[in-house]
A and B are shown apart, each in its own frame.
Chain A
Amino acid sequence: MNLLSLSYLLFVPLVWVLSRIVRPGKGRQLLWLAASYFFYATWSLKFLCVLIVSSLVNYALGIYLRRNPSAGRLWVGIGFNVFLLGIFKYLPVWSAHLGPGHLPTFLENVILPVGVSFWTFEALSYLFDVYREEELDPSLTEFCLYLAFWPTVLSGPVCRLPELLPQFRNAEPVWDDIREGARRIILGLFMKTVLSQMLGAGMRPGEGVDFGFNQIARGWTGVDVWILALGFAFQMYFDFAGYSNIVIGTAQLFGIRLRENFRDPFLSTSPAEFWTRWHMSLSSWIRDYVFMPLATWRPAVWWRHASLVIAMMLFGFWHGADWTYIIWGALQGLFLVAHRQYQQLERRTNVRLPALVATYAGWAVTFCFMLLSWVVFRANDLAQARTMFGALVHFSSYKHFVLPRNFVLMTIVIAVLYFVVAGLRKLAENVKQVPFLSRLGWALSPVVYSFAMLSIVIMSIHKAVFVYLQF
């Protein structure tokens, strides 16, 4: 059951109505668990078996760890979950690299259960929290619901049990939850089915980011690479932030508040700030459970820098076992280290740029670096990334471009509109105090939402798949 399908549109209200009939507590938890398992089983019964086995084993590991929260027992839990990820996520990729015949056939043909990266990380965060002696006492039903909760099971956000457990026990939606939840779902659908789709597939055959990366035979010019970098960055953003809005909105209909996943990432003025605004649930997971323990293992400054690069490479590796993801992660780590060195230099020399110049220069450097690093992430292999970067440094390649003119224009317009909307949102926060403008905004809302829904319906004739499902 896809989040963009008609069946999902019927599934959510049905579960919502049933939730109103069943009282909060164990009964409602069992209802939600049954609904979550049903939802996940529509993808594959085999996937559901893997999820249930993982839930039972991790719950048992939690009991085992709680009796004696030692590092050794924690490592048993980490080992199980890494093994699970290794078998389902990384073994097929390595098998493909090795070629047929190197592994037993049943291992070569393993299929990745959808969402395994996300709910495995949730299981790991639970074990870490038990090790840290957090006061957590989920029942088996609550723990299974935590991993299988249907809004988040496919692609996150990566949630933490201490945040969800009280809500699973007591959440009741109020009218504001339903209004805000519906708003976010519509916004998410618009971001995904309209904006991300337009960028990814273009408006006509022979256009789009996917075409630009996969099918350009004549090679790229510098302009093409910048446009594809811009297009892919915003495609990813609208796709995944759109998905996050749908999921967070759905959960809010039930009175459940999930972690935010995005917060205007392209307004960041430094790499450190970017990673507090992009895929926030996963970046905070990496910070809390990988970077902090690793970096504090040794007091040396060089080790802190190395830990940052290692943590970001792991972030890249989480996406997949390809060198493009790992190099992308390493680049992020190195950029963070470079930023840190720049901050230290400012303090030591007491030389600082004027605040406005520092802000805009920081934004420009961060934005451009992130765009170019997405080229590595999206490239089909490192050779393609090298070729594309080669085009960037040849100034003669900026005299023309290969991509369709319409697509180039559309990409630039969408990117500019993103910043215009961000600015208007900031303005709107200030004008809420002005009654006339506040009423005007209220009056325009139905127009805006109607436009969004019409666009969603029109663009939905194209088959849309969430990019992050592949991770």
Chain B
Amino acid sequence: MAEFPPLSAEALNERRLLMERSRPGRTGASLPACDVPQSPLPDAGLLRDDLDLPEVSEGEVVRYFTNLSQLNFSVDTNFYPLGSCTMKYNPKVNEAMAALPGFAGLHPHQPARQAQGALEVLHRLQSLLAEVTGMAATSLVPLAGAQGELAGVLTIRAALEARGQGHRRKMLIPDTAHGTNPATAAMCGFSVVSIPSTPEGNIDLDAVRAQADGDLAGVMFTQPTTLGLFDRNAVELCRIVHEAGGLVYGDGANMNALLGRAKMGPLGFDVVHLNLHKTFSTPHGGGGPGAGPICASAELAPFIPGPIAVRDGNGAYELAMPEHSIGRLGGAQGNFGVLIRAFTYISELGREGMLDISGNAVLNANYLKARLRALFDLPYERGVMHEVVFSARKRKGATALNISKRLLDNGFHAPTMYFPLVVPEALMIEPTETESKETLDAFIEVLERIDAEAAADPDFLAHAPHETPASRMNEAQAARRPVLRWSREEA
């Protein structure tokens, strides 16, 4: 294993925490003196004694966080083929538009007449997303994909109650689903029934039929699936669930493959959530903020969360709660700053652009599949959509984990590993449409080189990465004796 040079004092210094940098008397903010007659402060018993925050200058703060940023991989600096996360390039103009003072400075509770421009953006985005998904109505309220799931499943629950079917408790979820699906179903009071996949990677319809009874509330289904496949049984799945009186929730995590190619509504979905931070290119921000709007059929539209933007007879916009709304899921009307970025993105690409996105995303994934299949097992022998899932199991001494860690040494972010659970040693690779053929070829070349390393020196691979800002972390230590913050006692 490669030896690391001892860390320089400067490098160690770079990682010191704010509280460790603090020196009494320093500040990073320039604040005014009080220009109004002073009122007496309230009784000391109500006041805080001491505020333990750092004391650092502006220059120190800027250098600290600039240096910290450079410890990150990001889409702006690296190819980031993280499956199911759609790490596409995030156009800079979107940032500029979200920062316009007329948007960024607008308070969410201003009267509608003072926010007509913002409300028009919301209203038009609602329509655009409804058109893309082939649905009747959109709620932009959900603050992330998982909250979109919550909104969608609560909407299903409310619609079932309105049908007099509120007793239905069973929610079917394929074994390939993201963990958020069962977690969401449980939060909404449903019991989860896991449905297996067929050897071809489609949902097992016999297993669905066996559950299609009077207790069936619905199914949560991701199309394309997390295997990167367009599930050919999905239309029939929707038919079976509807016939049994259930409703179909669509997880739109993988919508990038379907833009302009198919609409979720006509495919049989009743409600679907979209991840604007995936499909519509709003930046992931190191783990949020996202936005997870839901689009619903005409039957479910009255139940979606609010407030949503509506237009009156005079063409003026205002916020309103849908007639039988499940209510509010946050303090305002959604992550407007994220919604703006998605709106500008759709405006930049337009109708033809949607087809360019899905076409190039799917082509890139199929190209990686064709070029990499010599290295890995391909669990499903068919064309893929926006991503390809391989199994690393036939590589002796090279687990999915070790291959992924060695990719980091080569400047590529790791694919999604060990998911979906039905594929052993899974490597889930999603290139997106914003990567060039040269980048994909370089990625392929590196994987070929890693393959050779695995044969020649498996131990070297097992200790990768060797050239990243940090080496493998002791995660067991972190979990056994959790240290979750700096503390004065310890310091």
Indicate, yes or no, whether A interacts with B: no
